[in-house]
Structure 1
Amino acid sequence: MNGHILPGVPIAVDCFQQKTIGRVKFYFLSHMHADHTVGLTSKWNQPIYCSQITGRLLQHKYNISAHLIEVLEPSQPHLLSHKDRKLTVHMLDANHCPGSCMFFFETENSKILYTGDFRFDKGIPTEFKNIYNRLKPIDLLYLDNTYCEPTCVFPNRDEAVKMITDICEQHPEHRVYVGTSWVGHEDLLEKLSANLKEYVFVDSDFFSRLQLLEVVDVFKTGSSSRLNAVPNSKLTCSSIAEWNKEMPTIGIKPTAMFGGQCTTGSKSAGMLHCVPYSNHCNFLELTEFVKLVAPKHIKPIVPGRKYKSGMESMFRADMRQLDNYLCITEENTDFQTKSDNLKSGMNKKENLQQVQYKKHQGKVKRKVIKHKSKPYSRGVNFFNEHDKNTKARKCAKESLQIEIESEIVRNCHELFQDFFTKGNR
């Protein structure tokens, strides 16, 4: 689940658990991807604020009553009130998928920008500057950190479409299957259709969503011997191998999860091409956006966790790598100073000797780890990342009961705790 209850206001964005009812007054939905709609069912009975397209898709997928959907107009101020408090919200295009949007919340005392999932482009700065007063900086930015890591480098979407077009043109006699999300790849398919001068064939469920989006001109239902769209979950090497028994077939999966362009499979069994087409920002685009917004604080939307190689990691939830672009205030000057002290302390001593505890057969054993001289570049991590003792690492993460024998490291650990307590990020 990639949703949050905002601090200081009774507002939840992309957070629809039953336990929130009572302490949340206003529910907002940024877009219709499954990781942002956790908790929504046909039994949902609270009003939801969203875009018009998202409202249509809500009714289509979850059969939510129309009277519960509160449609917001783009870039227009909407006034909400609760217990004599007034709140203004602006909805901005997020450039992620049809209906996706950002929310800009303003009260008398605070400003919060919630990006949801987004892809930064030249249209966002113009739209944002129309409502943003730089004399009163944003207090808190909730940022889409899906690819918030310097190694996340991939092209813009037009360049990725060109890469997919080239692959199709290199296989003129092959049937092509393009992987798609539930919503979000319609623009890709339209541009691919225009480049190849081919119709795109989809199943009936996909076509019914296209009708809601009013983009059916280049689509047909059924399957063809040339250009087809299928759900990403059905596009695997094994399925391509089966399709190749009927006729020569290739698959194209548009995703930046694996970095650059790559290919798996074989000529005999069929090839699966992964192309770095993404509806999320790459790292450079994220830094440009944060420079534009210049908030006081940043909070990651995607929690710090790791599913598998290529997906979100703990490091991508570490917003300190964007500290240079924050608005400088007295409030966060001390915060930045502690961060700098922490980093310098970790780099001063080449060989750190620390103690980690692990549970073993009901007892606690003491284990000394000697770290190599290479300084840590991914924030504070007191454990050897190459240590293969999985149980020890898991125990350390859960308990955080670390005893530091070196005075330097002990001071760094105190700074680390104080850093996050005062930063509240």
Structure 2
Amino acid sequence: MSQFSGFVDEIKGIAVDSFLPDNASSCTAYFLSHCHADHMRGLNEVSFSAHIASKADHFIYCSEVSAQILKNLMRDNESVLAKIQTLTLGPNLVQVPILDSDYQLDLVVTLIPAGHCLGSCMFLFETGEKTILYTGDFRFNPSDYSKISFLHTNGEPRELDAMYLDTTFWTQANQHFPSRHESLNLIITEIDKFRKRTADRGHVHIDKPAKIGSEFLIMELAKRYRKKVHVSSDCFNLYDGIQELTSCITRESGETFLHMCQSYRPGKGRRRLPCVQDYIHVLYIRPSAQWYSVGGEFFPVREHKGINLVQISHSMHSSRAELIAFVKYFKPKKVVPCVVPVNATMEQVQEEIDAVLVDG
């Protein structure tokens, strides 16, 4: 969970992924990397809504997909929705008003896909004097770092004065994760085994750890099995207007054997999905990074056969090894960690990151 204050030390007047009173009172431009709650603190509060509504030249900037999700999430907050300005992938010019003056800062903001969830992006901020990368929550395969064109000039990594880094899984316990496609293939393998064992009569429920973030699995599983994924009405409404998702989901449970419709926990005497009462054969799959490492050993798949539950390692955040590779590849002058990992302190994380920078 992000603990980032929202303030970018090198650029006064902007707030990123925090909309709390301190951000509102001292900033004039607000940036949202994606629509997870820990990156939206204060956004839907009455105080922020009133503040931004009173400022003609203050706006909230995000990707087009995040803007659509905000419209679906905050249908009644017209004050905030009226202040959303969408940025396209690549460079955008944002004019940031300077408080208590008639001047403004011309800020070039480059949106870069973050690989975390639907609509997520990294922000590359350029003032003419400073170049700052804010990663937000992100995940890339290290082999793809060189392919991020907006972070390169003439084939070489951009010079970064500072990097604000997602350090969710910086600790040794999260040294490695399967790639997203490796996790997807593990899930497909478990589904195929189960469907064969039940003569294609079994249903599969895949747990959604958050409202937003399972879109990669939804789209890939719908494509693989040529079946839509059954979701709740709330989830269906959340994706309203996003064609790449709405074509893959349904509110009708009878249309498919694939379900992401609720946070339902199987247990003794509970072998059925409430949405498909006629079917007793149900496989529960829980994708998460939380149980990949146990006692120093790594388990990409953990089966609980008595209740047809399979836990599969799946992470939309970078592993420790990927984070170290990212820092070493881009060699920023400074790195600011944005998340305190479990069983660690911010001071420990900063010390280890500084050591990586020194080692190069």
TM range (shorter): 0.7 to 0.9
Quote the residue 1:51 is aligned against. Answer: 63
Query: Match for 1:32: what amino acid?
Result: C
Query: Match for 1:223: what amino acid?
Result: S
Name which of 242, 246, 250 aligns with 2:283.
250
Quote the residue 2:95 is aligned against. Answer: 80
Contact 1:261 1:273 in 2 (8 A): no
Quote the residue 1:206 is aligned against. Answer: 235
Alpha-carbon spacing, 1:77–1:226, altered in 2? closer, same or farther (3 Å): closer
The sequence identity of aligned pairs, in percent, is 27
Alpha-carbon spacing, 1:157–1:165, altered in 2? closer, same or farther (3 Å): same
Name which of 9, 13, 28 aligns with 2:16.
13
Residue 323 of structure 1 deviates from its aligned partner by: 3.4
Residue 127 of structure 1 deviates from its aligned partner by: 2.4
Query: Match for 1:313: what amino acid?
Result: A
Quote the residue 2:43 is aligned against. Answer: 40
Q: How does 1:317-396 map to 2 (within 5 A)?
A: 318-323=349-354, 325-326=356-357
Deviation string 1:177-228 (CA, Å, 9 cap, x unpaired) is 1112312212212212333343321122222233322122332213247211
Counterpart Cα distance in 1 of 2:154 and 2:18? 26
Query: Match for 1:302: what amino acid?
Result: V
Name which of 284, 293, 300 aligns with 2:330.
293
Contact 2:29 2:96 in 1 (8 A): no
Contact 2:339 2:346 in 1 (8 A): no
Q: How does 1:202-281 map to 2 (within 5 A)?
A: 202-214=231-243, 215-224=245-254, 226-231=257-262, 234-238=263-267, 241=270, 243=272, 246=277, 247-259=280-292, 260-263=299-302, 265-267=304-306, 270-281=307-318
Contact 2:117 2:316 in 1 (8 A): yes
Quote the residue 1:154 is aligned against. Answer: 177
Quote the residue 2:56 is aligned against. Answer: none
Counterpart Cα distance in 2 of 1:34 and 1:240? 34
Higher RCO structure (Cα 8 Å, ≥6 apart):
2
Alpha-carbon spacing, 1:315–1:169, altered in 2? closer, same or farther (3 Å): farther
Quote the residue 2:221 is aligned against. Answer: 192
Structure 1 residue ranges without an equivalent (≥5): 307-311, 329-335, 337-425
> Does residue 170 of structure 1 match 2:193?
yes
Counterpart Cα distance in 1 of 2:239 and 2:180? 20
Query: Match for 2:119: what amino acid?
Result: G
Deviation string 1:372-404 (CA, Å, 9 cap, x unpaired) is xxxxxxxxxxxxxxxxxxxxxxxxxxxxxxxxx
Query: Match for 2:302: what amino acid?
Result: T
Q: Which has the larger radius of gyration?
A: 1
Quote the residue 1:302 is aligned against. Answer: 339
Alpha-carbon spacing, 1:238–1:18, altered in 2? closer, same or farther (3 Å): farther
Q: Secondary structure at the match of 1:280?
A: coil
Quote the residue 1:183 is aligned against. Answer: 212
Q: Secondary structure at the match of 1:211?
A: coil
Q: Secondary structure at the match of 2:261?
A: strand
Quote the residue 2:116 is aligned against. Answer: 96
Query: Match for 1:107: what amino acid?
Result: T
Counterpart Cα distance in 1 of 2:154 and 2:116? 21
Counterpart Cα distance in 1 of 2:330 and 2:187? 33
Residue 58 of structure 1 deviates from its aligned partner by: 0.9
Contact 1:149 1:316 in 2 (8 A): no
Alpha-carbon spacing, 1:73–1:240, altered in 2? closer, same or farther (3 Å): farther
Counterpart Cα distance in 1 of 2:86 and 2:323? 28
Alpha-carbon spacing, 1:210–1:240, altered in 2? closer, same or farther (3 Å): farther
Quote the residue 2:159 is aligned against. Answer: 137
Counterpart Cα distance in 2 of 1:41 and 1:100? 19
Query: Match for 1:217: what amino acid?
Result: S
Contact 2:123 2:134 in 1 (8 A): yes
Aligned-residue Cα RMSD (Å) equals 2.9
Contact 1:143 1:300 in 2 (8 A): yes
The total of aligned residue pairs comes to 319
Query: Match for 1:58: what amino acid?
Result: L
Residue 318 of structure 1 deviates from its aligned partner by: 0.5
TM-score (norm: length of structure 2): 0.79
Counterpart Cα distance in 2 of 1:131 and 1:18? 38
Deviation string 1:228-283 (CA, Å, 9 cap, x unpaired) is 1134xx1323498252795122211111111133436442xx22221111111122
Alpha-carbon spacing, 1:244–1:58, altered in 2? closer, same or farther (3 Å): closer
Counterpart Cα distance in 2 of 1:229 and 1:128? 35
